[in-house]
Structure 1
Amino acid sequence: MKLFNFRNTIVFVCVLNFSGLVLALEPASEPDIRFRSILYFYPEVKAPADGVVAAFFDRFEIVGELPAASTKPVVTYRLIEDLQDTYPVPDLDYLAYFGRGLDREQAVRIQNARVGLVVDIAYPMPMSVDGMKAANLTLLEIAEATGGVIWDSETRELFTPDSWQANRVAPWDGDLPILEKHTVIHAYQHAGGVRAISLGMAKFGLPDIVVNDFSWSLNRSMGNLINLVAQSFLEGQFPQEDGTLGISINELADTRYKQELVASLGINAQRDVVIQTGKGVREEGDPYNYIVELLFHDQEGRHSSEIQTNLLSSLFGWEDQVAYVQHNAMITAASESARQKLDGLKADFNAGLAPGEFILLKAPFDIPEGGAEWMWVEVLSWDDDAISGLLKNEPVNIPDLKGGSEVTVMQQDIFDFIRHYADGTSEGNETGELILKYQN
């Protein structure tokens, strides 16, 4: 995913005290939560009168400007008639990624917006959940009544009213928000690996979460880990003074989030883990918030990828299909068809894949007792015939090899490939269905 840096944000600063671990933003101030949203109006829509707008804020006290520290929910708002000079609408390229519910025609029309409503809301830290719930509902009511679209300054997304309803108002289970619906994760290539960071936790008075240096094939699992940690923070599980964080799926409140997560687990998931955390280093484009980095210290493994794979597999479970098959003419022909595409894949890889795109190759690994176990390898480098990568399966018959291990295979030995694209589609694995069909 491409990382965008588009800021219509108001900086909030607070001190968060989590189980003895003080997380202080700089500069420090009174602990409260501040959130900015902008309602953009289509050019043909008449801007609402001040009295009409004020009527929607019955859940808040209307003030001329936000106080230095809020002791109750307060709001200040103003109509802006020079949007292009102050708060320009995100462009079409941006909205292709972060326009929620907008079709092409709507995205084009909103580019011509001239008037917007800037809303700044503040509420004390103990009201973090109730304050956000009230803010989301109020913004929806204004948008539905006026025909506006809603900008979330923390997650940097633009919503139609229907999409805001689905993503900001509906995702609550009783009094608990389902945080993965209220936040986003930006993942992008960074310093030879992938970096993923959450945005939007500040709305609930919680730190954002970052993971550094992993491979694209782990992106979905890392996203699941970040969402699990976020929900654990919300429900009161924070790092200890030594930085250790114990997270348990079983101890989560019985919300739809937990139910869906449990249903997705592998059969051997342990469901809990203790992970080391540290203070994340803020980089350009990161949220203006305290950042907790998830580290993988004190976990089993010989290097970072193996350690990460072990932790994720232990927590969420894993299932590998093992097929014992004698290669027949049909399988051999499918493999030869795949092998003819390897030079093109190598050229594309070395020219640079799109963010989020990766290639898996099926290669043989010697079994100590004889024979070979064929497993998938995520390509990290492809130099002439030698391919370095990360093993994506857990070996069955090779005790000294683990999932996530760094391995080297030869192009001449490759049996098949899968090319995963950034949009979630893939091609390849022509031999897969045949192997399952003819397995012993």
Structure 2
Amino acid sequence: MTFPRMSIVARLLGGLLLCLVSGAHAAGKATPPAASTASPAPRLHNEDITLIYTFMLFHPTPPKGDVVAEARELLTSQYEELAGARKPEAPRPAVEFKTVPSEGLIPTDDAVLDVWGQRLNAEERKRLLGARHATALTFHVPFARRNEALLAATRFAHQLAVEHEGILWDISTRDYYSPLCWKKERLDRWSGGVPAVPAHITVDVHGEGESRRVTTSGMVKLGLPDLVVEQVPSSMLKDMGMLVGVVAQLLAEGLELSKDGTLNVDLARLKDARVKCLLEEMMAEGARRNMNMKLRALEARHGKAGPQKHLLEIVFPGSGTAHERHQAALDTLFGKRPVSLMGVKPEDPELAEVARKARLRLDELKPRVEKGLQPPERLEVRASFRTDDGGSEQLWFEVTGWENDKLRGRLVNLPFKARTVNVPLQDVSDYLYKRPNGTHEGGQSSRILMRRKEGC
């Protein structure tokens, strides 16, 4: 999934911005989870459980020496907090190492890396695609040691990746990292305690149309179920991602459910300074910052593209349709906020080149649009629109037709959602195309903006 970020920890908290539409499409590659039934919400912070998660170290060139032996030596010499024996009667964090043969590696291609390889530059992507060797690092962690162990595990994996010039893969989120981006996103400015959760999880968007499912991935590393919100229209995806990020952070910081499954989401209780700062920047007038919502447990479920996972569904109070309840909850917590999207400056040569290539590709797709796109085909483009103050704003719209040199479609961004527009090809700055085979292309400007925001 592709979500640009305002900063390292803003992947969820309002930094979703331009590529939200791209993220929804990209997640569509995975098989959506099947329906499941609900049960009473569990006790979230369970001292009796042991967390299990895996980081994979890919070796673009055949490793010299015994990687597993070297990893064990590094563990015992520098990471004593992870070097415990796996004893049920006295649980301590422990690490299991495994050399993964080439036939055991999950195939990776450019389409996969377009979604989950955004923290790799072109050379790193090329090296990863050629990798035929990998080492799996599986961590077994008692719940009570979850935060200190995750910090040590993240440091340990980074040091191994640097020493062996490898590429890291977090299996729980499916994201690939260069060692540099791993350090900047997950380690810099974290020296202990609860991490900035958005740096360690991702948000996936499943489905099409106006009833998409928003789910987190990666909460297992914090000993918590992943979160899900059902029936989310595309116009609310950005704000819903922000809300899910807030709830994830609060749960990691110790917020517990009441006996009836109610969760009191109070933004004033956030402890992480970075998340609080980013959230404050996004607040609008009229935000109450506090509300109750329900969390209910869903049976473990999985699709062909992912492992089995336990989920907590966020259920919003109030009357009306699901969409109306969603919007009311977002307005209550954050206030009514107009969409704020980054524009493409004319003098920016890198983004100007992306726009030029996008227009060339759209010319090639024009006959398909004129003939009529057939599901699952879908085309969205981003273009510049005039604002009331004389400026301009970049908005996405779904293409429904093409007449002469103008693309016709419906805006997908708030507060203009569903408004019909006609846009000259020369005003287009990027595109997102879902091919007939279900794969995707485009969205390069969003990846560039995310890379700049991250400094990676």
* TM-score, L = length of structure 1: 0.67
Distance 1:348 1:238, change over 3 A: farther
Shift of 1:170: 2.1
Q: Is residue 2:93 matched to residue 1:73?
A: yes
1: distance between equivalents of 2:370 and 2:321? 28
Q: Of 258, 266, 291, which residue of structure 2 is paired with 1:240?
A: 258
Q: Report if the CA contact (8 A) 1:43-1:110 is conserved.
A: no
Structure 1 residue aligned with 2:138: 120
Structure 1 residue aligned with 2:10: none
CA RMSD of aligned residues (A): 4.2
Shift of 1:41: 0.8
1: distance between equivalents of 2:140 and 2:103? 25
2: distance between equivalents of 1:175 and 1:216? 35
Question: What amino acid does structure 1 have at the position aligned with 2:199?
Answer: K
Shift of 1:107: 1.7
Distance 1:250 1:48, change over 3 A: same
2: distance between equivalents of 1:391 and 1:79? 46
Is the partner of 2:185 in helix, strand or coil?
helix
Structure 1 residue aligned with 2:310: 290
Q: Of 150, 163, 171, which residue of structure 2 is paired with 1:132?
A: 150
2: distance between equivalents of 1:224 and 1:165? 23
Aligned residues: 352
Q: Is residue 2:282 matched to residue 1:261?
A: no
Structure 1 residue aligned with 2:323: 305
2: distance between equivalents of 1:158 and 1:425? 20
Higher RCO, Cα 8 Å, sep 6+: 2
Question: What amino acid does structure 2 have at the position aligned with 1:96?
Answer: D
Distance 1:171 1:207, change over 3 A: farther
2: distance between equivalents of 1:134 and 1:355? 43
Distance 1:102 1:350, change over 3 A: closer
1:74-93 to 2 correspondences below 5 Å: 74-80=94-100, 82=101, 84-88=102-106, 90-93=108-111
2: distance between equivalents of 1:43 and 1:197? 35
Distance 1:118 1:124, change over 3 A: same
1:302-341 to 2 correspondences below 5 Å: 302-319=320-337
Q: Is residue 2:219 matched to residue 1:219?
A: no
Q: Report if the CA contact (8 A) 2:97-2:135 is conserved.
A: yes
Q: Any unmatched runs of 5+ in structure 1?
A: 7-17, 322-343, 363-375, 395-403, 427-440
Is the partner of 1:176 in helix, strand or coil?
coil
Q: Of 104, 122, 133, which residue of structure 2 is paired with 1:104?
A: 122
Distance 1:280 1:388, change over 3 A: farther
Distance 1:75 1:320, change over 3 A: closer
Structure 1 residue aligned with 2:54: 36
Distance 1:107 1:88, change over 3 A: same
Q: Report if the CA contact (8 A) 2:51-2:141 is conserved.
A: yes
Shift of 1:201: 0.2
Q: Is residue 2:80 matched to residue 1:59?
A: yes
Distance 1:23 1:181, change over 3 A: closer
Shift of 1:209: 0.3
Structure 1 residue aligned with 2:20: none
Q: Report if the CA contact (8 A) 2:338-2:414 is conserved.
A: no
Structure number with greater Rg is: 1
Q: Is residue 2:293 matched to residue 1:275?
A: yes
Equivalent pairs: percent with the same residue? 20
Structure 2 residue aligned with 1:367: none
1: distance between equivalents of 2:237 and 2:168? 28
Distance 1:61 1:163, change over 3 A: closer
2: distance between equivalents of 1:89 and 1:170? 31
Structure 2 residue aligned with 1:341: none
Question: What amino acid does structure 2 have at the position aligned with 1:288?
Answer: Q
Shift of 1:190: 5.0
Shift of 1:174: 5.0
1: distance between equivalents of 2:412 and 2:378? 18
1: distance between equivalents of 2:295 and 2:90? 31
Question: What amino acid does structure 2 have at the position aligned with 1:305?
Answer: H
Greater helix fraction, Structure 1 or Structure 2 = 2
Distance 1:289 1:99, change over 3 A: same
Distance 1:123 1:24, change over 3 A: closer
Question: What amino acid does structure 2 have at the position aligned with 1:289?
Answer: K
Shift of 1:185: 0.5
Q: Of 155, 176, 181, which residue of structure 2 is paired with 1:158?
A: 176
